[in-house]
Amino acid sequence: MNLVLRRVAAMVPALIGVVVCIFVLTRVLPGDPARTLAGDQADPSVVAKIRTDMGLDQPLHLQLVRYFTDLLHGNLGFAWHTGHSVASDFASRLPATVELALVALLIALLAGIPLGVISATRRDRPVDHAGRVFSLLGASMPLFWLGLMVIVVFYNKLGWAPAPLGRVAEGINPPTGITGLYLVDSLLTGDFVAFRSALSHIIWPALCLATGSTAIIARMTRSAMLEVIGQDYVRTAVSKGLKPSVVTLKHALRNAAPVIVTISGLQFGQLMGGAVITETVFTWPGIGSYVVQSVLATDYAPVQAFTLVAAVVYLAANLVVDLVNARLDPRIADA
């Protein structure tokens, strides 16, 4: 418990730093939101009026103070281009992104870890070479290209995938919002029609999103396992007459697990970022596609909020990693 409190406390300065960086970055970006909002033909006095309303005429440090106060009140600002508060836009869109990232992470773990373990235990055999080629391809394939290929092949040509528009098929009511994650909600309410539709919609973008992470998790698992397999205690396990599967999964994988957990935590952050591209390609109604629209509209507040949320997710993922690792390795808790 102590460990949790210490780690959470350590997140505070990091968050403050993130907020300041975001603020400064968005203010030095080119583009004038007041002018965009007013339109090209607007009268200069109208632009000035908008600027005053938005607080943009104030000195930077006062704007920063105001930004902080707003954040502490849970006010993420107003998204001019949608006409809603950023907070309400996020509330409706964040679950879609989180669901996508979680499903992608699940796929990456379920595929990456076995791939890495198999590669390591069959080092330099054909399986290992195939695994390494896949890792290389997976890690170097651009996400937008992969997404488009999946749509062309599996939707256009084969017709296996549903139209890449939204989280469920048209005409199906989304499940009642409990967690906001359609897969979870539809199961909770027993709505299996919605579940099937949601699953068939999320699986394709999630597969694309997971490809890069699967490759990286497989590579890291392989190298962590190779290192562990060479350790004395693995030889001890063999000398006891244990089956190879027990030696690999119980004795070796348990020791490689901290490395895998750490890389998975980092990958979750990556997946949130990768969602921006995937969501745009698959018109997934998450915060990734939302933030792209905001940038194009020079709308500061949603972009700031997105960056902040991404940072929080990233820090939280690393917190989870630390806590899981402390459970996995008794030496960390004692250190």
Partner 1 sequence: MSDLLTVDNLTVRIDTSRGPITPVRDVSLRIPRGKMLGLVGESGSGKSVTAMTITRLLPRRNVHVTGGRIEFDGRDLTNLSDRSLRAVRGKEIATIFQEPMTALNPVLTIADQVTEPLRVHLGLSRRQAADRAAELLDMVGIRDTARVLRDYPHQLSGGMRQRVMIAMAMSCEPKLLIADEPTTALDVTTQLQILELVMDLQQKHGTSVLLITHDLGVVAQTCDEVTVMHNGQVQETAPVEQIFEAPQADYTKRLLSFLPSNRERSRTARPAEGPALLEVSDLVKVFPGRRRRGRRTEPVAAVDGVSFSVAPGRTLAIVGESGSGKSTTGRALLRLHEPTSGSVSFDGVDLMALPAEELRAMRARMQIVFQDTYASLDPRWTIERTLAEPLRLHTDLDAAGIRERLAEVMELVGLEAGHLERFPHEFSGGQRQRIGIARALLLNPSLVVCDEPVSALDVSVQAQVLELLKDLQDRLGLAYVFISHDLSVVRLIADEVLVMSRGKVVEHGTVDEVFAAPKHPYTKALLAAVPSPDPRARLDRAQRRELVEAGTKEAVA
Whole-number Å distance between alpha carbons of 138 and 116: 14
Between 41 and 245, CB nearer to partner 1:
245
Nearest distance in Å: CB 66, partner 1:
41
Contact 254, 328 (CB under 8 A): yes
Nearest distance in Å: CB 213, partner 1:
25
Between 27 and 243, CB nearer to partner 1:
243
Between 214 and 255, CB nearer to partner 1:
255
Between 159 and 241, CB nearer to partner 1:
241
Between 171 and 241, CB nearer to partner 1:
241
Whole-number Å distance between alpha carbons of 134 and 106: 18
Nearest distance in Å: CB 6, partner 1:
9
Between 33 and 131, CB nearer to partner 1:
131
Whole-number Å distance between alpha carbons of 99 and 90: 14
Q: Could you give the C-alpha distances from 62 to 55, 56, 67, 69, 139, in angstroms and in order?
A: 9, 10, 8, 11, 44
φ/ψ (deg, to 5) at 193: -65, -45
Residue 137 neighbours by CB under 8 Å, 6+ apart: 215
Nearest distance in Å: CB 11, partner 1:
19
Nearest distance in Å: CB 226, partner 1:
11
Nearest distance in Å: CB 112, partner 1:
21
Whole-number Å distance between alpha carbons of 40 and 43: 9
Whole-number Å distance between alpha carbons of 36 and 38: 6
315, amino acid identity = L
- Angle between the 253-281 and 143-150 helix axes, to the nearest 10 degrees? 70
Nearest distance in Å: CB 2, partner 1:
5
Nearest distance in Å: CB 159, partner 1:
47
Q: Could you give the C-alpha distances from 317 to 90, 146, 243, in angstroms and in order?
A: 19, 26, 35
What secondary structure does DSSP assign to 54-103, as a single string?
HTTTS-HHHHHHHHHHHHHTT---EETTTTEEHHHHHHHHHHHHHHHHHH
Between 156 and 239, CB nearer to partner 1:
239
Between 153 and 333, CB nearer to partner 1:
333
171, amino acid identity = G
| Residues in contact with partner 1 by the rule CB under 8 A | 2-3, 123-124, 231-233, 235-243, 250-251, 254-255, 328-331, 333-335
